[in-house]
Structure 1
């Protein structure tokens, strides 16, 4: 017989986080975001995604530069969190397509991202995301994603 506390359903957790703005409850409930060090924060009055630097994120140790896959994962997570927290959807949106543009090497330091929902229909949403480190006006990567919000 197990004595562990059952984890709340994602829909319940998302509703709670929308009200309380305790974003860490949501990101901590997802093993992948915990492993990657990806979280959501309210910085200067806006919701930003942060990927905390750890050496496992390095792809090229000679430069050193962040791995492109870790940047792509962060951009996708930022888009998903934006959709979960800013829309009525209670299911994790499914990626239809994701295009990432790598603009410059990511340094071994924390990386930030901001997602913007550019168009949302009843079943599909378009999201644009930019990631930066020191200077927000000099993004290191950007992405355009198309998501399915609900089952047909």
Structure 2
């Protein structure tokens, strides 16, 4: 009898267990085509989960300034929130976004951008998070977001 490959939720659950055990966040970001395409990775060098979006010319939205495209910043903020939930809770499924509000505070320059999500409320079914993105100076964010997620 042929064995069938595991269903997507089972693959995600197995991958999350492996990442939580080994701390190799690269396994998680490489498994998601969207984060791989945008160059978004997860780091935990200071005891906190940070997301880094590596600069690439394709991320520029306004070439006359030049400034990062707002959609790429929104994707970084959303990804940071999802990774925070996946790595800080015991969920074995990717949370589904209910709503996100992004505030663009200043232009993002053509360089790496960091983001940090903070869980502000974690219920049994819903989680609220605040996220900030910055470049050189963490005290000067370039974008922030409030996000609401449905947990499985």
Q: TM over 0.5: same fold?
A: yes
Indicate whether 1:39 and 2:41 are aligned. yes
Residue aligning to 2:122: 120
Residue aligning to 2:86: 84
- Alpha-carbon distance in 2 for matches of 1:97, 1:55: 29
* Residue-by-residue CA offset, 1:78-124 (whole Å, 9 max, x unaligned): 00000000001111100000000000000000000000000000000
- Alpha-carbon distance in 2 for matches of 1:43, 1:63: 32
- Alpha-carbon distance in 2 for matches of 1:94, 1:45: 26
Q: From 97, 114, 139, give the equivalent of 1:95.
A: 97
TM-score by length of 1: 0.93
Give 4+ residue runs of structure 1 displaced > 3 Å after superposition: 5-8
Residue aligning to 2:66: 64
TM-score by length of 2: 0.93
Question: 5+ unaligned residues in a row in structure 1: which ranges?
Answer: none
Q: What is the SS of the residue equivalent to 1:9?
A: helix
Question: 5+ unaligned residues in a row in structure 2: which ranges?
Answer: none
